Amino acid sequence: MKRSKIYVVIGETGEYDSFTCWNVCAFKAKKKAVELKRLCNQWLIKNGLHYRDAAKRPKIYDIKEENQKEIDRILAITYKISKNKLSNPYDPNLSYIEYSGAEYEIIEIDFKE
């Protein structure tokens, strides 16, 4: 039996009880998975939705008048995603992003033929 690896690009969002992950695409070539991960994360960064960007934002439970505009902007983007009015062209399965942001990763899985 031939054994090899497959590389699955996954999306992740949320924290603790609201943590969610989903499969984006699987590849036999790691290089292709790395490229898709880069493109997906680049889209998140461009839209201010990556975990690292979210870490800089005020927390939703710490809403103050001076940061309400930023919170409203993020909530509007996540609403558009959930209603299929905004989509990541590299991830057709993206349907929701938590306020805490999102990120794409690669998991490596043994594949038996």
* Cα 3 to Cα 103: distance, rounded to the nearest angstrom: 29
Q: Is the pLDDT of residue 4 over 80?
A: yes
User: 49-96: per-residue pLDDT in tens?
Assistant: 888 876 666 555 555 666 667 667 677 776 666 666 677 899 988 887
Q: Provide mean pLDDT across the span 24-51.
A: 93
Picking from 42, 53, 51, 31, the residue whose alpha carbon sits closest to that of residue 90 is 42
Whole-structure pTM value: 0.78
Q: Per-domain residue ranges for the chain?
A: 3-112
Alpha-carbon Rg for the chain, nearest whole angstrom, is 16
Residue recorded with tokens 């490229």: 35
